Structure 1
Amino acid sequence: MTHAHPHTSHHGVPHGHQHGHGTDGQAEILDLDAEVLAEHTASITAWLPLETNPRQIVDLGCGTGAGTFALLDRFPDAHVTAVDASAEHLQRLRTTACARGVEERVSRVQANLDDAAWPDLGSPDLVWASASLHHMAHPARVLRAVHDLLTPGGLFAVVELAGFPRFLPESAPENRPGLEERCHAATDRRTAEHLPHRGADWGPMLTAAGFTIEGEHAIAVNIEGSHSAAIGRYALGGLQRIRGAVADTLAPEDLTALDQLLDTGSPHSILRRDDLTMRTERTVWAARRA
């Protein structure tokens, strides 16, 4: 979701301001995330402790639609209301829905969920929020609003990220081992100022909002680059955005090594490496309205 902190992406990577990676670059990363993690997202939807298949679903902070389309695939009789503050993301979602032939099963709503008054989102059986709650300025208020929105017995699925994925081995690049971790440490310091709830334990907050926790599920993701050509593009896009955000805080040697990785024409380009592995962690909470 991109509404409350305009300098932070859907995954907590600050926006780049030097290489032209604005909303389009962010949307591309969201699409790559959906492609690479499709099986993991499908496993989350299959894990949800649902009493009956939902017919009305709301995807809060839908981005370009990774969760929306996973939910449509999992529940073929359901209709999804996709909510985001970004008109560009919603338009991209619409284009994908049309390409998939599911446009009639998706409604798009542009809204800032930090506003006190929400648009009419119906009475969903399932609300899904993946990597979006930590963007809210007032998450406790949002959780209460979701509680009141759900039908009695309805389920709220919250997916939280440990941070942006890592791709390089610790020994890489050869001239500056550990570069990726240092870059992420620099972004984490800045991100913490704007997103204090990223990586939060949502369980106690959900309970405080009146939910009953039905399950908690931690997922460790480890996907070798040889399994998906998209992993190299994901790594490139993520590091490009990191460079744009924290170049001024990196050591000159780190910046030089980073630029070599980002130079797609260089023999040192990250796209030419055969040792990439996408590593990340996600936690899912399933919370029911009594």
Structure 2
Amino acid sequence: MAHDHDHDHAPDHEHQHTHHHDHGDLDWAEMAPHLEAEAELYTPLYERAMAWLGKKQTEPGLIVDAGSGPGVVSALLAEAFPGARVVAVDAAEPLLERARARAERRGVADRFGVLAGELPGVLDDLDYPADLIWASNSLHHLGDQRAALAAFAERLAPGGTLALLEGGLPVRFLPRDIGIGRPGFQDRLDVARADWFARMRADLPGAVDVPEDWPELLAGAGLRPTGTRSFLLDVPPPATDRARACLVSTLTRIREACADRLDATDAATLDRLLDPEDKASLHHRRDVFYLTARTVHTAARIDAPR
């Protein structure tokens, strides 16, 4: 199924991040506009997260966006840290082409590079260690998350920071009772998505179950946890066209991935919400909003003196 970033690929986040295990059946050229639109919608959230990171990190020389997708966040990192070189890393070449084009448009191409390959091994191809590695909803696409974190940690310069965006709150976009179907539709959709996500993880090559205590996992990778903070994205009703378009795109992917996990009533509600001819759809309703949070966990590489 196509990515629904946030979880980056759980049906719901499209986030920006693309991953290997399903490259075979994903058309990245087709996915790219959705990944870009969603990351653009989340720009205010990312900018607040970067301002927070900027207070922890002396001006980084090299920033790596690990699982960059089409580079929306990579370009924001280049703008937030004007002294840094940014490298967008992803397994999907068509997305990296878009990242390069975006860097040109944003005027940061002179300090912007791309690196194609599978995480985490491709990080060995970096010319020198990174001062900041940003990994947004990319880790959960790797079977062995603990091993991947250790590999990320090895690519950090002493004093460098790993910023891991994983978790937060599911997107809320409609009130509890929407006048069609059974009230509480979104809660049941969350259950279906969580089930899908668990199956996606279980099917990854080399999948290892680990309790997702991110600060503990970062410490286990030899890093010193330096903070966890969540950032809100709040688009009130009636939602903007951009937020509506992202919801339609995300829910279309959820329908493709999770339809067999919904009962007939909820499946019918989902169909109506996605039908542009239906006045009860996301395209026309005035009560549509977009409310979510993303959580960033940071940790620093502290090497003992030799």
Bin of the TM-score, shorter chain as denominator length:
0.7 to 0.9
- Between the aligned partners of 2:57 and 2:100, the Cα distance in structure 1 is 30
Q: 1:244 maps to what in 2?
A: 256
Code of the aligned partner of 1:68: S
Code of the aligned partner of 2:190: H
Q: 2:92 maps to what in 1?
A: 86
Is the contact made by 1:36 and 1:228 (CA closer than 8 Å) also made in structure 2? no
Q: CA deviation at 1:28?
A: 2.9
Q: 1:263 maps to what in 2?
A: 275
Q: 1:58 aligns with which of 64, 73, 78?
A: 64
Q: Structure 1 residues 193, 142: CA separation in 2 closer, same or farther (over 3 Å shift)?
A: same
- What does 1:109-120 align with in structure 2 at a 5 Å threshold? 109-115=115-121, 118-120=124-126
Is the contact made by 1:60 and 1:132 (CA closer than 8 Å) also made in structure 2? yes
**1:274 aligned to 2:292?**
no
**1:102 aligned to 2:114?**
no
Q: Structure 1 residues 210, 113: CA separation in 2 closer, same or farther (over 3 Å shift)?
A: same
Q: CA deviation at 1:94?
A: 2.1
Q: 2:299 maps to what in 1?
A: 287
Structure 1: give runs of 5+ residues left out of the alignment: 1-5
Q: Cα RMSD over matched residues?
A: 2.6
The DSSP-based 3-state class of the residue aligned with 1:222 is strand
- Between the aligned partners of 1:56 and 1:117, the Cα distance in structure 2 is 13
**1:212 aligned to 2:224?**
yes
Q: CA deviation at 1:112?
A: 0.8
**1:43 aligned to 2:38?**
no
Is the contact made by 2:44 and 2:233 (CA closer than 8 Å) also made in structure 1? no
The DSSP-based 3-state class of the residue aligned with 1:59 is strand
The DSSP-based 3-state class of the residue aligned with 2:125 is coil
Q: Structure 1 residues 29, 198: CA separation in 2 closer, same or farther (over 3 Å shift)?
A: farther
The alignment covers a number of residue pairs equal to: 281
- Between the aligned partners of 1:40 and 1:59, the Cα distance in structure 2 is 16
Code of the aligned partner of 2:129: S
String of CA shifts for 1:228-281, please: whole Å, max 9, x gaps.
321101110111000111222322222222111111122222011121221222
Q: Structure 1 residues 219, 33: CA separation in 2 closer, same or farther (over 3 Å shift)?
A: same
The DSSP-based 3-state class of the residue aligned with 2:48 is helix
- Between the aligned partners of 1:105 and 1:117, the Cα distance in structure 2 is 18
- Between the aligned partners of 1:167 and 1:144, the Cα distance in structure 2 is 37
Code of the aligned partner of 2:283: L
List structure 1 segments (4+ residues) > 4 angstroms apart after TM superposition: 114-117, 196-199
**1:140 aligned to 2:135?**
no
The higher-RCO structure (CA 8 Å, 6+ apart) is: 1
The DSSP-based 3-state class of the residue aligned with 1:279 is strand
- Between the aligned partners of 2:32 and 2:183, the Cα distance in structure 1 is 30
**Larger deviation: 234-243 or 261-270?**
261-270
**1:12 aligned to 2:9?**
yes
Q: Return the TM-score normalized by structure 1.
A: 0.87
Q: 1:230 maps to what in 2?
A: 242
String of CA shifts for 1:60-90, please: whole Å, max 9, x gaps.
0111223212211111121111001122221
Q: CA deviation at 1:8?
A: 4.8
Is the contact made by 2:170 and 2:293 (CA closer than 8 Å) also made in structure 1? no
- Between the aligned partners of 1:207 and 1:192, the Cα distance in structure 2 is 24
Is the contact made by 1:218 and 1:282 (CA closer than 8 Å) also made in structure 2? yes
Identity %: 32
- Between the aligned partners of 2:30 and 2:169, the Cα distance in structure 1 is 18
String of CA shifts for 1:66-123, please: whole Å, max 9, x gaps.
3212211111121111001122221222222222232222211111115488423521
Q: Structure 1 residues 117, 273: CA separation in 2 closer, same or farther (over 3 Å shift)?
A: closer
- Between the aligned partners of 1:51 and 1:116, the Cα distance in structure 2 is 24
Code of the aligned partner of 1:263: D
- Between the aligned partners of 1:68 and 1:81, the Cα distance in structure 2 is 8
Q: Return the TM-score normalized by structure 2.
A: 0.83
Structure 2: give runs of 5+ residues left out of the alignment: 13-24, 203-208
The DSSP-based 3-state class of the residue aligned with 1:195 is helix
